[in-house]
């Protein structure tokens, strides 16, 4: 126990003695952890937004005036037999009018354009699928020659464009996050490596005396590993505080811009606080202790 406390004390003392180098190491590591966490949150958030949008994606098939009911039923039955179909909802002209009035209830000019006696809204089928990638297969069924005289139009492309755009943003964000995290991690690694190397050089005489009096390699190496671990622990604490503060102040704006996607940054942080803290701590310890260990291996001769 005494040996452990002494190792920790020496590591902490070395950490304090390095002054601005310690500050620089922690600063870059904080940037590394913050970048990793923020891009993780952005990707998870975008993933939830995409899922939310995908759940709302459907194919709306609008029929010509006074369609043949038997043909609509044939199409409905054919679609219902496909495994990729999640649901099919028939919307009559009356239902379409109700939906139109609800959607545009604050727009009297539009409301006056349709009525029960002058209802130009078409009947339709609203089709949802389990996997949006299967929309093209459903579209192929709808566009068969036998159904073409029945169909006024099909809404599909606008939804697909929106999803494709979100997917491109998500992939770009992932790549950007990997690049920035790798850059900051590399810089952090180099700074800590050189900080520990300088600490070893500064204590060369002390280390030689310790070897002469029989100190074990572990006792000599320990303080430098503790120093590397301290960088990781302190950087994690600062990163968590900064991230929580940032989300606290930014949450209202983010929630407002995400609309009805159901994404709440504050709730996200609360629900994932433990895994994000542990993840940052492990990464911080890995960078700090690995760079310290490599510096020890290269510059501390204990043979």
Name, in order, each residue with C-beta under 8 angstroms of 297's C-beta and a sequence gap of 6 or more: none
Element (H, E) at 67: none
Residue 215 CA to residue 83 CA, distance in Å, equals 71
C-alpha 113, offset from chain centre: 45
CA–CA separation, 258 and 253 (whole Å): 9
Window from 22-36, 144-158, 246-260 with minimum mean pLDDT: 246-260
| SS3 state of residue 46 | helix
The answer on pLDDT for 159 being more than 60 is no
The CA distance from 284 to 300, in Å, is 23
> Under a CB-based contact definition with an 8 Å cutoff, are residues 23 and 231 in contact?
no
* Among 149, 148, 127, CA closest to 138: 127
Phi first, then psi: give them for residue 125, nearest 5 degrees.
Answer: -120, 130
Cα 120 to Cα 105, 205, 260: the distances in Å are 18, 93, 30
Per the listing, tokens 């001769």 go with 301
Q: Taking residues 131-140, report their average pLDDT.
A: 74
Tell me the longest C-alpha to C-alpha distance in the chain.
Answer: 104
Q: In angstroms, what is the C-alpha Rg of the chain?
A: 31
What is the mean pLDDT of the segment spanning 242-262? 69
Q: Which residue has the tokens 């993933």?
A: 47
CB atoms within 10 A of CB 36: 22
Of 136, 38, 127, nearest to 90 by C-alpha is 127
Asked if pLDDT for residue 264 goes beyond 60, the answer is yes
Tens digit of pLDDT for each residue in 102-130?
877 777 776 677 776 777 788 888 888 87
Contact 163, 57 (CB under 8 A): yes
pLDDT band for position 251 (cuts 50, 70, 90): low
Could you tell me the pLDDT band of residue 245, with boundaries at 50, 70 and 90? confident
- In the predicted model, is pLDDT for residue 255 greater than 70? no
Give the residue among 140, 143, 155, 170 at the shortest CA–CA distance from 56: 155
Model confidence pLDDT, tens digit, residues 163-178:
677 667 777 877 887 8
Q: What CATH class does 58-156 carry?
A: alpha beta
- Domain borders along the chain are 2-53+162-299, 58-156
């Amino acid at each position: 126990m005494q040996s452990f406390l002494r190792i920790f004390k020496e590591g902490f003392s070395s950490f304090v003695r390095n002054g601005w180098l310690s500050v620089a190491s922690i600063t870059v590591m904080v940037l590394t952890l913050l970048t990793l966490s923020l891009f993780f949150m952005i990707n998870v958030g975008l993933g939830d937004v995409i899922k939310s949008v995908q759940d709302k994606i459907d194919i709306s098939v609008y029929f010509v005036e006074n369609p043949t009911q038997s043909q609509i039923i044939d199409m409905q039955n054919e679609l219902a037999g496909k495994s990729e179909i999640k649901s099919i909802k028939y919307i009559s002209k009356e239902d379409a009018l109700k939906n139109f009035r609800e959607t545009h209830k604050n727009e009297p000019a539009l409301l006056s354009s349709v009525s029960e006696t002058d209802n130009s809204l078409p009947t339709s089928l609203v089709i949802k699928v389990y996997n949006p990638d299967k929309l093209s297969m459903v579209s192929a069924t709808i566009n068969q020659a036998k159904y073409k005289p029945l169909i006024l139009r099909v809404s599909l492309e606008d939804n697909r464009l929106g999803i494709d755009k979100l997917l491109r943003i998500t992939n770009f964000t992932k790549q950007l996050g990997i690049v920035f995290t790798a850059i900051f991690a590399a810089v952090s690694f180099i700074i800590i490596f050189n900080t520990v190397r300088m600490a070893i050089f500064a204590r060369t005489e002390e280390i030689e005396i310790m070897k002469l009096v029989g100190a074990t390699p572990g006792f000599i190496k320990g303080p430098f590993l503790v120093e590397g671990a301290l960088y990781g622990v302190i950087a994690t604490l600062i990163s968590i505080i900064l991230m929580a503060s940032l989300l606290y102040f930014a949450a209202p704006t983010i929630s407002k811009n995400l609309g009805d996607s159901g994404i709440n940054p504050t709730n996200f942080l609360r629900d994932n606080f433990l895994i994000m803290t542990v993840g940052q701590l492990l990464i911080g310890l890995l960078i700090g202790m690995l760079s310290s260990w490599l510096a020890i291996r290269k510059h501390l001769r204990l043979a």
